[in-house]
Chain A
Amino acid sequence: MKPERVLDLVWLALLAATAVTWGLGASGWVGRAGLAGVALVFALAWAKGLAVLLEFMELRHAPPAWRWGLAGALTAIVALIVLAYALA
């Protein structure tokens, strides 16, 4: 697939994930679902962030230390946020 098409598809998927996140918040489901709501919203944020790192920032084609280091850092930050909600 042409790299332009990959970017186009990633962009559309990111917009769709944003619409889902908005819907989860606007419907009040996030507030009612407890930790499951937190986990789903931040799983979506993590997936979106990973797509930006790998495709827009081109870490998919970068040396593995940078790719795994930054993907790992994003994962750790999101996990810490979810942990804070789990402790509440």
Chain B
Amino acid sequence: MTPAHPAPSRPASRLPGDLFIWYVILLEGATFAVLFVAFAFTRLRHRALFTASQQQLDLSAGALNTALLLTASWCVARAVLAVRRGTRGAGLAWLAAGMAGGAGFVALKLKEYADKALEGIGLSTNLFFDFYFILTGFHLLHVLAGLLALGLVGIGLLRQPRGVLQGHALETAAVFWHLVDLLWLVLFPLVYVMGRA
């Protein structure tokens, strides 16, 4: 039997999950920061090209993907709270909902890539699209890695014996998942929104 706690038990002032994931976050954050800033400063020298190319992107698809990732992040955060309360079923349901949001993001991103390919736009089209495919492709790999981690954590939750519900692995995967969301929150305005006229 899984105990239902009145409130999530979390010691004051601690990092959720494994400390190692926070160092991964620093590294990944720094890598994307270099790419974001490089994009912004490269645009300085190629303003007309960047603006014209950005207008070929599907702004609504970018916004919908933002909403999907934010929703997926919210679901995973709710899963962490549910597991802390000792409610495995609710935790798994929130986790599955979060993964569905992530899968939706992947599907929409692949559709965007397919649409671009049909328009004859690829990796070597121009400098803007070099950045576009590197930034979004590298980010997409992180989404896939996050989905894999969440899936493995979900299987781990299913296998835990009744009455004992450990949320440490879920917290660790959740922190990575939120980073993937956070990176997109900067990528979306930088790549999709700016340059609109």
Residues of A within 8 A of B (CB): 3-4, 7-8, 10-11, 14-15, 18-19, 21-22, 24-26, 28, 30-32, 38, 41-42, 44-45, 48-49, 52-53, 55-58, 61-63, 66, 70, 73-74, 77-78, 80-81, 84-85, 87-88
Contact = CB atoms under 8 A, between A and B. Distances in A.
A35 to B, nearest CB: 11
B189 A85 contact: no
Contacts, number: 136
Given A15-B70, A18-B70, A45-B189, 10 more contacts: A18-B67, A18-B188, A21-B66, A22-B60, A30-B194, A45-B188, A57-B175, A77-B36, A78-B186, A85-B194
A7 B74 contact: yes
B86 to A, nearest CB: 14
Given A18-B70, A56-B181, A87-B44, A26 B37 contact: no
Contacts of A26: 59-60, 196
A61 B175 contact: no
Interface string B1-42: 000000110101111100000100100010001001100110
Contacts of B195: 30-31
A28 B63 CA distance: 15
A44 B190 CA distance: 12
Interface in B164-197: 174-175, 178-179, 181-182, 185-186, 188-190, 192-197
Interface centre among A52, A66, A80, A87 (most CB of B within 10 A): A52
A4 to B, nearest CB: 6
A16 B63 CA distance: 11
Interface residues of B, number: 50
Given A55-B77, A66-B15, A87-B44, A44 B189 contact: yes
B196 A61 contact: no
Contacts of B67: 15, 18
Interface string B38-76: 001101100100010000000110010011001101101
Nearest to A37: B194
B185 A52 contact: yes
B13 A21 contact: no
A21 B67 CA distance: 11
Contacts of B22: 66
A61 B43 contact: no
Nearest to B171: A58
B78 interface: yes
A26 to B, nearest CB: 6
Nearest to A4: B81
A70 B195 CA distance: 28
B196 A80 contact: no
